[in-house]
Structure 1
């Protein structure tokens, strides 16, 4: 089992996570071995097991790191806009942006999702980590809507689940047919309509 914290632990974990991200993307979650990850990070297997119990635990740490990346990017994009520039169309555009690292993450997260579906205990833990991301997105979206002078008329948790489902399905098609469907196209086209349908003006708010 992982040992207690040390001064070097954050650096070690960061290197193991980056190595795992690379190896998972190259050979898949099941194809990657702990030796592969440790070697790529420049450590021994002992260093791996001092920080993570297994590949599942390491991947869940990657889920949390990716969630923080997504949250920070969205929050920074929204905070840089003046109130007059923040419209429902602009919110949809900001949420629809696709970064170069998103394709790599899509590859490894899709395979791990299938792994989790086949193993209920892993699925339970995976769901708990994904719920943290949804909670963060709910806060970001609520704040963004408020700045436009609108509020959600539906449960924001359910709305975020729907947006994630659209996003994942859209990216799946785009990565297979990039010339026919550029990444983010469906989101930019239809999310403004959805946002307008599920929000209402706040009385007294200045939009």
Structure 2
């Protein structure tokens, strides 16, 4: 009977354990979404963990039960935004433009809910945060190194430039052109990225 009671007590526990990841993922998702919006609007130093928790309708305790701190939340957001390592900011900006009405100055850069614009802003925020915080900086640098390595592994070798160097230049082109385009969409079209990527990546 002891064994039977033990089995009965383990079964509800197992069901509860299976249910917890769903609630935990919902909480994490809400916090990441709030961080994404606030950090894009205000910058990382302009929105505290308290602000993020409040925007998500949660307490600060919920933040620390899911993330070790601001840097951990920041890295989780990077991974969420760039889970697809083939995603290019410029290509997303171009796709967003194709879905909008072209009316001169009315461009995606004025839409605070535009994902490509948020992505560009957040990547800049991540870089600035890493430049100011040594502990965060090397972790962010490692993340970029992994992304470059993944990109390089997909490139065919050439006689002129090593795949690692081409991946570095392609990533720099993507971000640099995206930032110029967001400020000056008419004179810096995203189509330039396709030309530059062809030169750097050979495809």
Given the two structures, how large is their TM-score scaled by the length of structure 1? 0.69
Residue 155 of structure 1: aligned partner: 162
1:97 corresponds to which of 71, 81, 91: 91
Q: Any idea what SS the aligned residue of 2:28 has?
A: helix
Aligned runs of 1:98-137 on 2, under 5 Å?
98-99=92-93, 100=96, 101-137=115-151
State whether residues 16 and 38 of structure 1, in contact with CA within 8 Å, keep that contact through their aligned partners in structure 2: yes
2:177 is aligned with 1:170: yes
**1:157 offset after TM fit, Å?**
2.3
Matched residues in 1 for 2:84 and 2:175: separation?
17
Q: Any idea what SS the aligned residue of 1:98 has?
A: helix
Matched residues in 2 for 1:96 and 1:137: separation?
16
**1:125 offset after TM fit, Å?**
1.0
Matched residues in 2 for 1:34 and 1:178: separation?
33
Matched residues in 1 for 2:125 and 2:83: separation?
21
Structure number with the bigger relative contact order (C-alpha 8 A, sep ≥ 6) is: 1
State whether residues 63 and 130 of structure 1, in contact with CA within 8 Å, keep that contact through their aligned partners in structure 2: no
2:186 is aligned with 1:179: yes
**1:166 offset after TM fit, Å?**
1.0
RMSD in angstroms over aligned alpha carbons? 2.4
Q: How many residues align?
A: 163
The answer for unaligned runs of 5 or more in structure 2 is 1-17, 97-114
Given the two structures, how large is their TM-score scaled by the length of structure 2? 0.70
State whether residues 173 and 196 of structure 2, in contact with CA within 8 Å, keep that contact through their aligned partners in structure 1: no
Residue 67 of structure 1: aligned partner: 82
**1:96 offset after TM fit, Å?**
5.0
Matched residues in 2 for 1:137 and 1:190: separation?
15
| Cα 1:12–1:188 shift into 2, 3 Å | same
Matched residues in 2 for 1:179 and 1:36: separation?
36
Greater than 6 Å deviation, 4+ residue runs? none
Q: Any idea what SS the aligned residue of 1:68 has?
A: coil
Aligned runs of 1:31-110 on 2, under 5 Å?
31-71=46-86, 97-99=91-93, 100=96, 101-110=115-124
The answer for unaligned runs of 5 or more in structure 1 is 75-94, 146-150, 200-207
Matched residues in 1 for 2:117 and 2:125: separation?
13
**1:109 offset after TM fit, Å?**
1.9
State whether residues 90 and 178 of structure 2, in contact with CA within 8 Å, keep that contact through their aligned partners in structure 1: no
